[in-house]
């Protein structure tokens, strides 16, 4: 994708390989693979840009592989030829997929003048409408990029069949061993990694990624004219850059730096795929592992002999690699349920004898909310660092481990906060804007401190005490009831979802087909919605039968102590001292 053919309006045409990846590994794997490649290109090569990452993923990682793979399957069904049909179907699917992506890009660009324009109708971001973008994008992809995509896909599919490599929808492992398949895949992967940096040997900028001066030199070299055409001059004056946003963040650092960035990008992709392969590697069937462990035991059908008898002593132990790992969705639901249980039932950390645990819930809420408001209004990095260390000190005094804070708050901020602050930070680095860098760092620190302070309240306060404190502070009864019921209802819903996964796992022997997981999630979603509706009716009937009015009661009275007053006075003093700085 780094070798581009320029198209008017700042866009380019290039081969992608998304349909080829879908034919070899499936459309969902193609979606992940192309998205990773686009992210690496945007971060390490400055190609495509971060601002357009969502649009690029939608067109090249979603539309192209799914459309191309659908056309490929349809052609295979119609032609019904073992090998030649696969090659031709792959070429047609790749050709249709890349043109479908080009049409999507043309529509996304062409509607910009109609959506974003000034009062007098002048486009703000992109100057060309659908009457220009659709013919230009489709023409260059139909005649050049689509043909290249089809030829490359056909050659790779033909080579894969010649090497007896299974395609995604025709994978049969009966005619080859697992060692042969893994060795062949590693050989192909290493070959691709070795050939990837060869494109960086070419001197000059990437094709179609020229700046203003390089474009002038190319025009003078090939046409003899000096200067840019009037249309490009006008577009450049209004800073129409199309999808090429945030290019070359650090500037031109020379040939060796560019080659080094290429190796760094290739290494990043290889590392991501290596970690993904290690995490989601194909495991052997447990029944096969049992056969290898106990070869003298005879089996009846697909079940081993020890499974047909009720003797526990004859059962061989399975290695860890033979145990089917939990699905990602299942693990996520389990972790969320555990976290919700700790919050709703006041377990673990709120039972300790720490500083915040000993405070009255009302004083604790007032003090923490005051610190959060101070964090949200300050613009000083030193003040934010002071508040951050103060928060860590409160956590240590409350006997909250640092790992819990990292898991609950800092990791979340690093994931979502970095996605918000990374684009302006890179833009500030590119423009050598010190104030922009300071603002990005300030925003990230502010998010970290606010989320960490907010996490201390449920970690150090029993759920019933927290609701009672809110009610004593004047929060309306309807609001506290809504908060309480939302947490309880969400917890019961998560427990129901976990039980559905556990019921399925307890009734499945061996490995599931590759598409059974998606089918189970689809069918379970409908049943889950039905259960939640029935649960809502039962909860309402239980509240009515018990005459619940929204009040929460404690076993011990909530008393205001001297330490609560000292805590609030200290917080007010910190706020006044910082605001006077």
Residue 314 lies in a domain: no
Number of domains in the chain: 2
The CA–CA distances, whole Å, from 481 to 227, 376, 464, 466 equal 70, 28, 11, 12
Residue 206 lies in a domain: yes
Q: Tens of pLDDT along 283-300? A: 444 444 444 444 444 444
Same domain? For 267 and 343 the reply is no
Same domain? For 397 and 498 the reply is yes
Same domain? For 542 and 416 the reply is yes
Q: Which residues sit opposite 13 in a β-bridge?
A: 5
Percent helix, strand, coil in the chain, to 5, is 70, 0, 30
Lowest mean pLDDT: which of 85-99, 129-143, 241-255, 325-339? 241-255
CATH number at residue 116: 1.10.1760.20
Tell me the whole-structure pTM to 2 decimals: 0.45
Residue 304 lies in a domain: no
**Is 18 buried (19+), middle (13-18) or exposed (0-12) by CB count in 10 A?**
buried
- Token representation of residue 86: 């696969």
Q: Residue 174 — pLDDT band, cuts 50, 70, 90?
A: very low
Is residue 501 within 8 Å of residue 327, measured between CB atoms? yes
Which domain, by its residues, includes 384? 330-509+518-579
Q: Tens of pLDDT along 361-386? A: 888 999 999 999 999 888 888 899 99
Residue 237 lies in a domain: no
Report the candidate in 298, 351, 293, 349 with the shortest Cα–Cα distance to residue 318.
293
Same domain? For 567 and 470 the reply is yes
3-state secondary structure at position 121? coil
Same domain? For 264 and 341 the reply is no
Residue 91 lies in a domain: yes
Query: Average pLDDT over the chain, rounded to whole?
Result: 73
Same domain? For 270 and 382 the reply is no
Same domain? For 271 and 349 the reply is no
Q: Tens of pLDDT along 203-261? A: 555 555 566 677 777 777 767 777 777 766 665 655 444 333 333 444 455 566 666 76
Same domain? For 85 and 221 the reply is yes
What's the confidence (pLDDT) of residue 244?
Answer: 39
Same domain? For 267 and 127 the reply is yes
Same domain? For 393 and 529 the reply is yes
Residue 298 lies in a domain: no
Q: Tens of pLDDT along 479-496? A: 887 887 777 777 788 788
Same domain? For 452 and 373 the reply is yes
Lowest mean pLDDT: which of 61-70, 182-191, 270-279, 474-483? 182-191
Is residue 359 within 8 Å of residue 567, measured between CB atoms? yes
What's the confidence (pLDDT) of residue 235?
Answer: 59
């Amino acid at each position: 994708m780094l070798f581009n053919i320029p198209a008017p309006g700042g866009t380019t045409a290039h081969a992608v390989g998304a349909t080829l990846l879908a034919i070899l590994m499936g459309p969902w794997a193609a979606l992940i693979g192309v998205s990773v490649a686009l992210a690496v290109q945007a971060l390490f090569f400055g190609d495509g840009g971060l601002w357009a990452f969502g649009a690029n993923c939608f067109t090249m990682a979603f539309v192209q592989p799914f459309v191309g793979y659908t056309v490929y399957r349809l052609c295979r069904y119609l032609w019904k030829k073992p090998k030649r049909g696969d090659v031709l179907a792959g070429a047609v699917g790749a050709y249709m997929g890349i043109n479908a992506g080009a049409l999507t890009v043309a529509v996304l660009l062409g509607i910009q003048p109609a959506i974003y324009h000034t009062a007098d109708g002048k486009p703000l971001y992109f100057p060309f409408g659908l009457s220009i973008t659709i013919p230009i994008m489709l023409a260059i992809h139909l005649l050049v990029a689509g043909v290249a995509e089809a030829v490359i896909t056909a050659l790779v599919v033909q080579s894969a069949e010649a090497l007896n490599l299974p395609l995604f929808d025709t994978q049969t492992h009966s005619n080859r061993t697992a060692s042969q398949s893994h060795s062949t895949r590693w050989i192909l992967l290493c070959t691709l990694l070795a050939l990837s940096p060869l494109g960086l040997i070419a001197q000059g900028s990437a094709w179609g990624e020229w700046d203003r001066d390089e474009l002038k030199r190319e025009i003078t070299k090939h046409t003899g004219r000096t200067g840019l055409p009037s249309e490009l001059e006008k577009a450049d004056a209004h800073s129409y850059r199309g999808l090429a946003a945030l290019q070359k963040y650090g500037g031109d650092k020379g040939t060796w730096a560019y080659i080094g960035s290429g190796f760094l990008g290739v290494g990043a992709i290889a590392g991501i795929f290596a970690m993904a392969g290690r995490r989601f590697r194909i495991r052997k069937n447990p029944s096969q592992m049992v056969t290898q462990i106990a070869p003298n035991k005879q089996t009846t059908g697909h079940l081993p002999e020890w499974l047909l008898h009720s003797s526990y002593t004859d059962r061989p132990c399975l290695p860890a690699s033979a145990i089917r790992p939990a699905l990602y969705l299942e693990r996520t639901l389990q972790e969320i349920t555990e976290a919700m249980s700790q919050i709703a039932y006041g377990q673990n950390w709120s039972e300790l004898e720490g500083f915040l645990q000993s405070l009255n819930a009302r004083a604790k809420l007032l003090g923490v909310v005051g610190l959060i408001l101070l964090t949200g209004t300050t613009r000083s990095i030193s003040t934010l660092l002071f508040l951050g260390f103060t928060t860590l000190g409160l956590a240590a005094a409350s006997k909250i481990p640092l790992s819990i804070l990292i898991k609950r708050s800092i990791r979340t901020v690093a994931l979502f906060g970095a996605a918000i602050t990374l684009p302006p930070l890179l833009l500030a680095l590119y423009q050598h804007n010190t104030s922009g860098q300071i603002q990005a760092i300030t925003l990230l620190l502010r998010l970290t401190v606010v989320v960490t302070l907010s996490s201390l309240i449920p970690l150090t306060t029993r759920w019933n005490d927290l609701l009672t404190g809110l009610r004593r502070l004047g929060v309306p009864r309807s609001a506290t009831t809504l908060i309480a019921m939302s947490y309880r209802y969400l917890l019961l819903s998560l427990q129901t979802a976990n039980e559905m996964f556990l019921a399925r796992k307890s009734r499945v022997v061996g490995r599931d087909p590759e598409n059974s997981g998606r089918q189970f999630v689809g069918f379970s979603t409908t049943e889950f919605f039905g259960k939640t509706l029935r649960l809502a009716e039962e909860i309402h009937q239980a509240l009515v039968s018990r005459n619940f009015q929204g009040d929460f009661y404690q076993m011990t009275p909530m008393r205001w102590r001297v330490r609560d007053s000292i805590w609030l006075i200290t917080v007010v003093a910190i706020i006044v001292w910082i605001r006077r700085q």
